[in-house]
Amino acid sequence: MTQSILKLDSVDVSALESYREKFALDVLTGLSEPRKSIPSIYHYDAEGSKLFNKITELPEYYPTRCEIETLKRNIAQIAGYMGSETINLIEFGPGDGGKTRILVEYFLNKGLEFQYIPIDISYSALDDLHQRFKKSYPKLELKGLVADYFSGIKWLNNEYDRKNVVLFLGSNIGNFNRAKSKLFLHNLWNHLNDGDIVIIGFDLKKDIDLLLRAYNDSRGVTADFNLNLLQRINRELAGEFDISNFRFFATYDVFSGAVESYLVSIQKQEVIIGEIGKSFHFDPWEPIHTEYSYKYLESDILSLAKNTGFILKENLYDEKRYFVNSVWEVNKPHAS
């Protein structure tokens, strides 16, 4: 029985220093642009992962509840894609694995043979998942990878000669813009084999008030989640952000389909970041972009599948049809 966490690339324990350097470099680049931004992957340190879990419990935040409902009501169908021989069940960005637990438990009870391979940039999230799964499912073959999605994909290539079922849940795909999601999925296709399965959670375009409420919750947890980015810079890069000088703002672009999140400087200020050795100027009401969350039409999903080499097998929905888990098959008809 193997249950281990491999640490890949930039977050290998021996390379934590270079991970911090990458964080510093990304912050320097993002805050030096005329349109300031901080990449959304930096949301997920231990504090950010905890805050995200709190978001999923908010009454306004429908995506998690809808996806859990979708997985539960279609679980037998999903199990049908697992096949009869031992497979790799790979997951990109599982967080604490709350949703995967539903699938894993069902698959184990059905006696399906698989190795679970969660891939997440957040060591703390993955470590947490590892501890809990180890306790609940001692028989589960589990090998976690601390890596970003793109490095994780590269690792898949030569490791096993097995069928792969890949989970990409939670509307994580929505953090990529349209071009980057196409690049990511085509890259994924490239590293998979004919007949492999990918299950992707897409949040659908819907009533704008519902969308806005989900990201502007009344308890301010989403605001805290975003402000944690500045606190993380304070903690890890000797930043001197006074977070009371920033406010969170989320809006929706009906054309692009993106909920856009910002931290806005409420006054003129200079902020020193010690590890970068630089001070950054903010004008009053100047924004820092912190996250995109793209919403999809069903036609967008179909063309994304076609344009990246997949066959869309079926779309699985919650009762309200707010969310979809789209099941795709890798199509490589000329593969030997």
Residues at the site binding ligand SAM, with contacts judged by CB under 6 A: 41, 44, 49, 52, 56, 64, 93-95, 99, 120-122, 125, 148-149, 169-170, 172
- Of the pair 228, 265, the CB lying nearest ligand SAM is at 228
Closest approach of ligand SAM to the CB of residue 182, in Å: 16
- Of the pair 150, 285, the CB lying nearest ligand SAM is at 150
Closest approach of ligand SAM to the CB of residue 148, in Å: 4
Of all residues in the shown chain, the one whose CB is closest to ligand SAM is 170
- Of the pair 41, 264, the CB lying nearest ligand SAM is at 41
Sign of CA dihedral 212, 217, 220, 224: negative
Amino acid at 45: D
Token readout for 61 is 């935040």
Alpha-carbon distance of 265 to 272, in angstroms, equals 15
CA distances from 8 to 15, 23, 225 (A): 9, 16, 26
Long-range contact pairs involving 22-31 (C-beta distance under 8 Å, separation at least 24): 23/236, 23/237, 24/237, 24/273, 24/275, 24/276, 27/233, 27/237, 27/273, 27/276, 28/273, 28/276, 28/278, 30/288, 31/273, 31/280, 31/288
Amino acid at 94: P
- Of the pair 70, 122, the CB lying nearest ligand SAM is at 122
Q: How far is CA 217 from the centre of its chain?
A: 20
Closest approach of ligand SAM to the CB of residue 176, in Å: 9
Closest approach of ligand SAM to the CB of residue 255, in Å: 24
Query: Among 201, 206, 207, which residue's Cα sits nearest to residue 315?
Result: 201
- Of the pair 101, 278, the CB lying nearest ligand SAM is at 101
Closest approach of ligand SAM to the CB of residue 141, in Å: 20
Token readout for 199 is 């299950």
- Of the pair 127, 329, the CB lying nearest ligand SAM is at 127
Closest approach of ligand SAM to the CB of residue 172, in Å: 5
- Of the pair 260, 282, the CB lying nearest ligand SAM is at 260
Closest approach of ligand SAM to the CB of residue 134, in Å: 18
Coil, helix or strand for 166?
A: strand
Coil, helix or strand for 291?
A: strand
CB-count exposure of residue 161 (10 Å: 0-12, 13-18, 19+): exposed
Closest approach of ligand SAM to the CB of residue 43, in Å: 7
On the CB side of 56, CA atoms within 13 Å amount to 18
- Of the pair 22, 332, the CB lying nearest ligand SAM is at 22
Query: Among 216, 268, 224, 221, which residue's Cα sits nearest to residue 243?
Result: 224
Q: Tokens 């009870």 label which residue?
A: 109
Closest approach of ligand SAM to the CB of residue 280, in Å: 24
- Of the pair 95, 257, the CB lying nearest ligand SAM is at 95
Query: Among 96, 78, 95, which residue's Cα sits nearest to residue 87?
Result: 78
